[in-house]
């Protein structure tokens, strides 16, 4: 057992950077007023300044303008706001048809399913064996009454990156709005909205060492979007409810702290994991694309063993990772992503997702690969599927 837990589940959430905490603190203890107009009281004006500076930072990271950023509570709210908001705004004008991919996060998939119950038609676009979208299928499925295409930028489990430029080009040619959930790529892989005509982008702070419960939605100027939560007139009347100012400030600080060196470092940990696992552990399969993938994600199936057993053994040795096994999830459903890339149930059950963050090291990779070798060999020894 290690002295401390080695955490390799950074796509689920990351450890808050202390510098982010330092940036947020004044907005909890000193400048804790709600954001007020320039005619309000000074603490409220200061709070507003903090919020707007954070908005500028998020906007600049995308090549957008500040008024195109709406602060939210995170990925789920951003994607709900985008999809439901556009649908509500265009239902009467354009129709009730949307398109999503089969491997989206549940915040998109379940929003689509909810709309289906309300009479919308949803097309679920296939992906290939690496998780890459079938662009021809997308092109063919767009109809005159399609109000929105929602395709993730990076996959939450297997890290596959979509060709956002190509998807956006198709959508623009067909005159349909495009939303992308960029929660797992934001700041890891550049998106420049001045070059890529995507209309809405979901982001979240907790995947980049920012605070939990804060995110943002980029809304291109002029995009029709109905408010889906009624209340006050915050966020230029696009999102009711008091703004989480410390959270927004923390989110912006987290964005500022990401450097190109860090991205290279994450890539090096990912590639070193692949190198060691594929060299030293037999009967393994890469999940996702080797080249079109996020820097922080390594997802591998260890055949003949079941994921929950692996994660439990690893936890007992001081490691945190996740798996696409049905037994790991309360729903007892195997990863829809691995099944979506044409994998069978066994491949999903034996998959392990390693996701890296700023606080990981090469030594962490060495430690977990050494532990994996033992755990996998121990479980294969009792597996009826493994030919001993």
Partner 1 sequence: MKFPYTEKVLEHFKNPRNVGKLENPDGKGLEGSPACGDMVAVYLQVNPDTQIIEDIKFESYGCASNIATASIITELAKGKTIEEAKKISWQEATEELGGLPPVKAHCSVLAVEGLRAAIRDYEEKHGLVTEQEPTTPDVLRSRLKHVMNPMAGLDIVRTELVTKMEINDGVVRILLDLPSNHQFAANIKEEVLEKIESLWDVKEVNVVFTE
Closer to partner 1 at the Cβ: 243 or 306? Answer: 306
Closer to partner 1 at the Cβ: 71 or 302? Answer: 302
Closer to partner 1 at the Cβ: 260 or 384? Answer: 384
Q: Which two tokens stand for residue 274?
A: 């692949």
Nearest approach in angstroms of CB 311 to partner 1 is 10
Clarify whether 87 is annotated catalytic: no
Q: How far apart are CA 89 and CA 289, in angstroms?
A: 36
Q: How far apart are CA 43 and CA 22, in angstroms?
A: 19
Which of 360, 376, 333 lies closest to 209 in space, CA to CA?
360
Nearest approach in angstroms of CB 304 to partner 1 is 7
Q: Which two tokens stand for residue 234?
A: 């915050």
Q: Which two tokens stand for residue 228?
A: 């889906």
Question: For residues 111 and 77, is the Cβ–Cβ distance under 8 A?
Answer: no
Q: How far apart are CA 85 and CA 10, in angstroms?
A: 30
Q: Which of 257, 327, 339, 367 is catalytic?
A: 327
Nearest approach in angstroms of CB 329 to partner 1 is 10
Residues 6+ apart with CB under 8 A from 31: 43, 46, 47, 50, 245
Closer to partner 1 at the Cβ: 222 or 384? Answer: 384
Nearest approach in angstroms of CB 372 to partner 1 is 17
Binding residues for partner 1, per CB under 8 A? 304-306, 308-309, 312-313, 316, 325-327, 330, 332, 334, 344-346, 349, 381-385
Residues 6+ apart with CB under 8 A from 49: none
> Rounded to the nearest 5°, which phi and psi values hold at 297?
-115, 130
Nearest approach in angstroms of CB 213 to partner 1 is 20
Beta strands in the chain (DSSP E): 6-7, 69-72, 97-101, 121-125, 146-150, 177-181, 200-204, 215-219, 284-286, 297-302, 319-320, 322-323, 351-355
In the DSSP assignment, the letter for residue 161 is B
Closer to partner 1 at the Cβ: 186 or 304? Answer: 304
Nearest approach in angstroms of CB 388 to partner 1 is 8
Closer to partner 1 at the Cβ: 286 or 327? Answer: 327
Q: Cα angle at 206 between 160 and 268, to 5 degrees?
A: 50
Nearest approach in angstroms of CB 381 to partner 1 is 8
Q: How far apart are CA 137 and CA 83, in angstroms?
A: 21
Helix 106-117 and helix 75-90, axial crossing angle in degrees, nearest 10: 30
> Rounded to the nearest 5°, which phi and psi values hold at 59?
-60, -45
Closer to partner 1 at the Cβ: 4 or 330? Answer: 330
Q: How far apart are CA 152 and CA 103, in angstroms?
A: 8
Helix, strand, or coil here: 241? coil
Q: Which two tokens stand for residue 272?
A: 């070193």
Nearest approach in angstroms of CB 351 to partner 1 is 12
Give the CA radius of gyration of the chain: 22
Closer to partner 1 at the Cβ: 315 or 366? Answer: 315
Catalytic positions, please? Answer: 327
């Amino acid at each position: 057992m290690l002295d401390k837990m080695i955490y390799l589940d950074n796509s689920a959430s990351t450890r808050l950077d202390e510098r982010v905490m330092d940036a947020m603190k004044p907005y909890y203890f000193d400048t804790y007023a709600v954001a007020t107009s320039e005619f309000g009281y000074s603490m409220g004006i200061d709070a507003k300044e903090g919020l707007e500076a954070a908005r500028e930072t998020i906007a600049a990271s995308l090549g957008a303008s500040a008024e195109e950023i709406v602060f939210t509570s995170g990925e789920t709210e951003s994607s709900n706001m985008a999809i439901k908001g556009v649908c509500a705004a265009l239902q009467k004008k354009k129709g009730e048809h949307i398109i999503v991919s089969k491997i989206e996060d549940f915040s998109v998939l379940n929003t689509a399913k909810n709309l289906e119950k309300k009479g919308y038609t949803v097309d679920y676009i296939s992906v290939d064996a690496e998780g890459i979208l079938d662009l021809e299928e997308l092109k063919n499925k767009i109809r005159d009454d399609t109000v929105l295409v929602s395709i993730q930028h990076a996959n939450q489990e297997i890290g596959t990156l979509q060709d956002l430029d190509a998807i956006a080009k198709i959508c623009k040619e067909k005159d349909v709005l495009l939303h992308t959930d960029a929660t797992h790529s934001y700041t890891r892989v550049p998106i420049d909205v001045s070059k890529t005509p995507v209309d809405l982008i979901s982001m979240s702070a907790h995947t980049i060492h920012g605070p939990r419960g804060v995110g943002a939605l980029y809304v291109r100027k002029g995009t029709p979007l109905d408010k889906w939560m009624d209340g006050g007139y915050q966020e230029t009347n696009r999102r009711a409810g008091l703004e989480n100012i410390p959270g927004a400030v923390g989110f912006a600080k987290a964005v500022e702290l990401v450097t190109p060196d860090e991205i290279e470092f994450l890539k090096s940990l990912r590639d070193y994991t692949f190198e060691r696992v594929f060299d030293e552990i037999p009967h393994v399969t890469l999940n996702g694309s080797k080249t079109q993938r996020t820097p922080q994600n390594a997802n591998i199936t260890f055949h003949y063993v079941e994921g929950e057993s692996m994660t439990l053994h690893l936890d007992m040795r001081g490691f945190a990772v996740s798996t696409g096994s049905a037994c790991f999830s309360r729903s007892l459903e195997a990863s829809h992503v691995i099944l979506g890339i044409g994998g069978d149930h066994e491949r999903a059950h034996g998959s392990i997702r390693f996701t890296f963050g700023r606080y990981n090291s090469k030594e962490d990779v060495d430690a977990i690969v050494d532990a994996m070798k033992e755990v996998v060999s121990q479980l294969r020894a009792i597996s009826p599927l493994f030919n001993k």
